[in-house]
Amino acid sequence: MKLPWFLNLWLLGWGITTCCLGDPPVEAARPNVLFIAVDDLNDWIGCLGGHPQSLTPNIDRLAASGQLFSNAHCPAPACNPSRGAIMSGISPHVSGLYDNRQKMRQIMPDAELLPKYFSRHGYWSAGSGKILHYFTDADSWDDYFPPKETENPFPRTFYPKNRPVSLPVGGPWQYIETDWAALDVTDEEFGGDWSVSQWIGQQLSRQHDQPFFLACGIYRPHEPWFVPEKYFQPFPLDDIQLPPGYREDDLDDLPPAGKSRGPNRYFAHIREHGQWKQAIQGYLASIHFADAMVGRVLDALANGPNRDNTIVVLWSDHGWHLGEKQHWQKYTGWRVCTRVPLIIRVPAGVSALPDGTRAGAVCSRPVNLLSLYPTLTDLAGLPAKEGNDGPSLVPLLKDPQSDWPHASLTFLNRPGNLAISGERWRYIRYGNGDHELYDTATDPHEWDNLAEQPNRDTEIRRLKRFVPETFADYRSDNTASLPRLSWHPIGDGALPESKPDAAAVDVTIGNRTGQPVDIQWIDADGRARSFGTLEAGWQKAFDTHPGTVLRVQTTGGKTIGYFIVDDQPCLALIPAS
């Protein structure tokens, strides 16, 4: 039976599409997800006000069109455990993935990552750039750029031939990528994040026959801070301002465990060589470049066919010290290291949030990136995944001021060490019992440790309620005990015949050459197949076969040597040339 025209109009006004009473309701189209990760980005963006000279117009316009979480924190202050927790939904204290030296799949072999979960529920899951810690996890994706089979998430990137450029190497302790320079190249010549934004933009610019989960990993401002010169130009060296959170005597009121995490060799080395302002300039320039790449992606979405049905999420895996607490890099529980940008924009029409997010909304409730997994499955209308350790943020997207009985927990590199962020107060507890307490409403840079002051027991007890009763044990990476493959240095001469066996075996390859190298495996027909680029100082595992020849080349194509894979897991170290 057909309905009267006026009743059809009334039903349409409520979003119901039906032509007769017996027809089943048509399910609303599921929203797409654009998932943007920016590496090592602290609060130095305009909408968070972390540094007065930072230029981030594109991230700021995303915040102005969506909801900014101004009190968001990472699950761990290091890439591997933070990204592993975000992508699996499993907290570090549950999984045991605490630091960068562990391998995610060794610790969580069966965890179903966010893209796989979306793919299993009817989405096309694709990505480009760094989403996990220097690997792709090919089985979790339908498509990837560079190809997922290489397990190398990085496109070709232009780096200076002679390095270091700005900061001399202080010793074997120094991460070789701690360096900065303005490069005389265009964005396209630089490649890297430009190539990532180009590929992501192409996916956003076309129609899809199923909803998509599209992950965009922007590597800058991760070191090295090499970006095209034009991104340095807005930051003249003479005008560079030191970090607002820096104070010379900031370690004086810390307990021993806190003091031990403060000063490190990097900051002293940088100051010794007069490179502090140059480094800040490089970080600001790298943020500016990353923001421009985010802008390219946002423009592609806005100008394409998916603009009105795509959720956008932007986050960073952890913050970064540039001298605060006499520290450089990450790995601490202080707010400068745990607080991260988090912006979510939801279009109208999503069933869990029919009106979408309110443009320019700001939420100050303490939230954690662990909540991204359940939040996105809620917004997409997917069944909740069992075992997620974070609460969904949908209630706060509906009302940023709604009651929120949660604190945000950031786990440090060993069981028992953590930072707890409330709406106003932050508490850091170390495994030996040392602790720190800060009132971020009056002391946003955490200069004054109040833990030992009288009348602070109430706040400490309230925050300690969130400390987990148990912590997963720390399991170390066992590569040091692996047998080592022999290194065979050669020029451009012939390689031995490659005889891959059918069995599979893991080989961990470490690059000690001081320069990026290309790793290739040779198949039974003598054809070279690329595993991708292995950056200087990196070490990662590859799946291969016994009897395979692994050829190592410079990025210019010169063969420098090879390994022959053994029939058991092994370690292949490319020596310094």
Catalytic residues: 79, 133
Which tokens go with 199?
Answer: 């590929």
Cα 101 from Cα 394, distance rounded (Å): 34
Q: Torsion angle of alpha carbons 187, 192, 193, 196, nearest 10°?
A: 110
Q: Please state the separation of Cα 351 from the chain's center in Å.
A: 28
Burial string for 484-517 (b: 16+ CB within 10 Å, else e) reads ebeeeeeeeeebeebebeeeebbbbbbbebebbb
Question: Length of the chain in residues, anyone?
Answer: 577
Q: In whole angstroms, give the CA distance from residue 419 to residue 457.
A: 17
SS3 388: coil
| CA distance linking residue 156 with residue 179, whole number of Å | 19
Structure tokens at 510: 């470490």
Provide the β-strand partners of residue 399: none
Q: Structure tokens of 182?
A: 């303005």
How far is residue 60's CA from residue 297's CA, in Å, rounded to a whole number?
14
CB environment 363-382: b (16+ within 10 A), e (fewer): bbbbbbbbbbbbbbbbbbeb
Strands (E), 176-244: 180-183, 212-218, 225-228
Closest by CA to 174, choosing from 270, 285, 286, is 270
573 and 488 Cβ atoms separated by less than 8 Å: no
Among candidate residues 370, 280, 396, 373, the one with its CA nearest the CA of residue 44: 280
d(CA 293, CA 304): 17
**CB 407, CB 422: distance < 8 Å:** yes
Task: Assess contact for 455 and 82: CB atoms under 8 A.
Answer: no
- What is the identity of the amino acid at 29? A
Q: CA-to-CA distance for 531 and 513, rounded, in angstroms?
A: 17
> Do residues 262 and 192 touch, judged by C-beta distance below 8 A?
no
Residue pair 555/491 in contact (Cβ under 8 Å)? The answer is no
* C-alpha pair distances (Å), 141 with each of 32, 325, 332: 15, 40, 32
Q: How far apart are CA 381 and CA 576, in angstroms?
A: 52
**Cβ atoms 509, 151 nearer than 8 A:** no
- Rounded to the nearest 10°, the torsion over CA 399, 403, 409, 410 is 30
- Rounded to an integer, what distance in angstroms lies between the CA atom of residue 479 and that of residue 514? 21
Tokens 């403060």 identify what position?
262
Q: Are residues 510 and 485 in contact, defined by beta-carbon separation less than 8 angstroms? A: no
